[in-house]
Amino acid sequence: MNCIIIDDEAAARTIVAHLCSQVDDLDLIEEFPNAISAMKFLNKNDIDLIFLDIHMPDFSGFDFIETLKNPPKIVLTTSDKNFAIEAFGYDCIVDYLLKPITFPRFLKAVQKAQKEKLIKPQPTPVPAVPSSTLKEKELYVNIDRRLVKIEFEDIYLIEAKGDYILIKTEHKNYTVHSTLKKIEEKLPDSIFLKIHRSYIINIKRIIDIEDNSVLIAKNVIPISRSNRPELMRRLNLL
């Protein structure tokens, strides 16, 4: 089984790497000090198993898992026993190892991962979506009793304003009596994402991301913790 280690503590990575070296069926491919660098690696490489720390700066182990479309098997390695119940809510997590990790306990976790890999179910084919149900390339909004057409690609930001929403485009801004939830249902998922309870952005218009905010045009938009993993998953990280 190919595996990687993700842990912000160098000493912890060294210990897990040593444990991996004692198991013949394990092939340690890489170690990472943070989740972001691991995400870039996984965009180009297939891995069978991840040894993952929970508490890491900026991006926790659970945040990382939420970014993965088809996660491999994961063994959590942590000093915190308080997340065990939450951990087993994820199908991809096969075990929960408390530091310091003993070899017998480590080996048991690896054997669980091997067993689950052997009985991994085949994915169910997803039926094709009829063309009639696909979203269009534009929407119409009611402005002063007129229906105004707005191209999706022109929209870079939508902001909730009480009982109204503000739709910002390259050419003009529109104030519409609606809710963020209602317009979200009309937008194509491929380019739009709700990153905060008050904001939907066009991810193709992102200029910069720093800490917990994005820059779009001249607007600095906050990213909520719950929406950050999905945003990171959508990005084409180098």
Under 8 Å between Cβ of 84 and 149: no
pLDDT tens-digit map of 179-236? 999 999 889 988 999 999 999 999 999 999 988 899 998 899 999 988 888 898 888 7
- CA max distance for the chain: 73
Q: What is the DSSP letter of 205?
A: G
| Stretch(es) of the chain classified as CATH 3.40.50.2300 | 2-118
pLDDT tens-digit map of 85-135? 888 889 999 999 999 999 999 999 999 999 887 755 555 555 555 443 445
Task: Compute the Cα dihedral for 74, 75, 77, 82 and give only its sign.
Answer: positive
Selecting from 2.40.50.1020, 2.120.10.70, 3.30.465.10, 3.20.20.210, what CATH number does the domain 131-234 have? 2.40.50.1020
Under 8 Å between Cβ of 59 and 77: no
Q: What is the pTM of this model?
A: 0.65
CATH number, span 2-118: 3.40.50.2300
CA 214, CA 160: separation in Å to the nearest integer? 17
Closest CA to 92 of 106, 74, 113, 117: 74
Closest CA to 33 of 13, 54, 58, 3: 13
